Structure 1
């Protein structure tokens, strides 16, 4: 994928560097670039490639989008990756010959992709996904039988990261094809917990098509297929499916079913520590976040439950950024529907600070920002800037 070169980022990098208390030499060393290069960038004498932007952003501890001028679109890099991902899906059963890294290196590359997904670093995923998926398909084809399950599990995890990008950026057909590749790879993994992961992710296709009843049936079938296992990973897999079932039942307006699955998820969440299991965050905090999601979906009197929970609890830092951002997006919608537009705007801004790429591409953020702008509440200039940032006009 060709690299994008951004101009006009030097002053922003210099500003963030000074805020972080770093000298040019310290930032250059942390980013792994030449000091002279950084000086030229800050003086505006050269542009910044996407790889270099990522390195500087990582050294500063920021999302790359934070360093870009307002006129730039960081999602350009994501859209450039879409054709490459489509090409991978056209050849996954018969990938081109080429090198394959050792299993440990492949495992490390996939682990990085999972980390990027959980922290909503979609641009970084888009850069790495096409080549990594191709390599994993090649590795699966050439692996000896006793190694195939492990490679298949890696392929499922990498596909899930790529799917997060496709789904968040509205490429629903590509998302469905990536999920089909996950299902194909899962057959080679021969692991019911991998099957549970695929069922969890596959629910996206039912959300996208509003086929909630079919999605609910698919999750029920996945729950039936899980063995009764007391390992934390198995308990978490079952609990995650119950959380997902509660959300899709809420979207379908089935309050009783949603409450039943939330109760099951709470009981399982109490049996495991909060953490990431098989690529999915699960535990008591994750269940609470899903309680808010269900309450917003069902609406009515249940909105007060979401607002009450938010008054006494906030997701802690150890919950992945994408999920914490989702909490504030859902909370913002509850506040907006409850006649609290200023509080809703504040929640949307918190979601943006936690996971900018996630918030920017979330349809509810755009819809709610457009509604708030029509209401002309809160700080008009900040609200207009926010609405422009998330392309709120695109949802009208």
Structure 2
């Protein structure tokens, strides 16, 4: 038995043990389409795995091949795509020559990217962006006056999906550029709901810079400019801004402002049932998720409020995966602070199950998993495997 084979076998067994529902050796063999004896020999370190076998096992376990090999420095498909995305947005005002499909097809592709963003399928967004974004720029450059606003709104949505991908993977400068391009495109669209969306996303810049009070001021200005809540769409636009203002106020340590904005968001749910509005989830369940986020952001004595808000409640399965996983990441932090490490790990596992890419790249996850390992000396294989998966070791 070689050390390499032993390490691979140990990781296969660990990833199998933390799968939900729990995966037996037989189930792994069935999903991978190989003999049970093969799985047993690989886990015991008695058999090497060919490149094709590694890909098969990784797909069956729902992990990347580099993680299965224990390569913490392996390149990431999303990060590999970031230079191409940067090149694609550089020509926003002087688009390259090329075809432009009908608006209906462009709108379908933008809608698909939005769905991928909400489902935390960042690899798919990163793969599509280098072609889609320049084509939208060409469409805007060539558009008749009657179509300019529609194309501009599509470009804002596309930039938003790409920005979410860049932001989640730590490309803060690229994210800031994309947000400025959202603002540039939104200026060519008279729809105030588009402007509200841009203001909502722009808050990422303030979060990244820890300029929380400036971010709160920017959001409050956006709320003042947002259209009156005369229907579900306008109520949701204002409500989403209030939700985000509540979180950034909490990060600024302003509990009073956080509660005021959260209360306003909750009031607006009376006019906007849970759903997607302009690519943003809003409604009673989303406000409850943000109630947990606000309490965690305030920290200290407010941790109990997060646990109370999450008690005996789970985000509905039709809520976007990105937001549901975010809820469990926030809850895990509250549980860890409250001295409940076992529950915290369960919440992190739930977040991973819902949105693996979002969970793995979240800095809080890495920090909290590292803390769990320090608290639990002689950590269980499942926690060790999780730590390897999210680069916490």
The interval holding the TM-score normalised by the smaller chain is: 0.7 to 0.9
Match in the other structure for 2:46: none
What is the deviation of 1:134? 0.6
2:338 and 2:52 mapped to 1: Cα distance? 51
What is the deviation of 1:67? 11
Q: Is the 8 A contact 1:206 1:212 kept in 2?
A: yes
2:65 and 2:113 mapped to 1: Cα distance? 21
1:377 and 1:332 mapped to 2: Cα distance? 19
Match in the other structure for 1:141: 141
Number of residue pairs aligned between Structure 1 and Structure 2: 355
Superposition RMSD in Å: 2.7
1:100 and 1:332 mapped to 2: Cα distance? 46
What is the deviation of 1:383? 1.1
2:369 and 2:191 mapped to 1: Cα distance? 43
Does 2:165 match 1:153?
no
2:143 and 2:29 mapped to 1: Cα distance? 46
Match in the other structure for 1:292: 292
1:305 and 1:16 mapped to 2: Cα distance? 41
Give the 5 Å matches for 1:206-245.
Answer: 206-245=206-245
SS of aligned partner of 1:201 = helix
1:17 and 1:67 mapped to 2: Cα distance? 20
Distance 1:92 1:125, change over 3 A: same
Distance 1:298 1:98, change over 3 A: same
Match in the other structure for 2:196: 196
1:70 and 1:254 mapped to 2: Cα distance? 46
2:321 and 2:241 mapped to 1: Cα distance? 20
1:105 and 1:63 mapped to 2: Cα distance? 32
Q: Is the 8 A contact 1:199 1:222 kept in 2?
A: yes
Distance 1:248 1:373, change over 3 A: same
Does 2:324 match 1:314?
no
Match in the other structure for 2:174: 174
Match in the other structure for 1:104: 104
SS of aligned partner of 1:313 = coil
1:210 and 1:67 mapped to 2: Cα distance? 33
Q: Is the 8 A contact 1:342 1:377 kept in 2?
A: no
| 1:85-133: CA deviation from partner (whole Å, max 9, x where unpaired) | 1112221100101001111110110111000000000111110011100
SS of aligned partner of 1:392 = coil
Q: Which runs of 5+ in 2 are unaligned?
A: 1-7, 17-25, 35-48
Give the 5 Å matches for 1:274-353.
Answer: 274-353=274-353
SS of aligned partner of 2:306 = helix
| 1:258-277: CA deviation from partner (whole Å, max 9, x where unpaired) | 00000000011132111110
Q: Provide the TM-score with structure 1 as the length reference.
A: 0.83
What is the deviation of 1:64? 7.2
Match in the other structure for 1:131: 131
1:98 and 1:45 mapped to 2: Cα distance? 38
| 1:183-223: CA deviation from partner (whole Å, max 9, x where unpaired) | 00001111110000000000000000000011001101111
Match in the other structure for 1:33: none
Distance 1:206 1:293, change over 3 A: same
Q: Is the 8 A contact 1:153 1:189 kept in 2?
A: yes
Q: Which runs of 4+ in 1 moved over 3 A?
A: 14-20, 42-48, 62-75
| 1:223-245: CA deviation from partner (whole Å, max 9, x where unpaired) | 11112141211110000000000
Distance 1:70 1:195, change over 3 A: farther
Distance 1:70 1:353, change over 3 A: farther
Match in the other structure for 1:384: 384
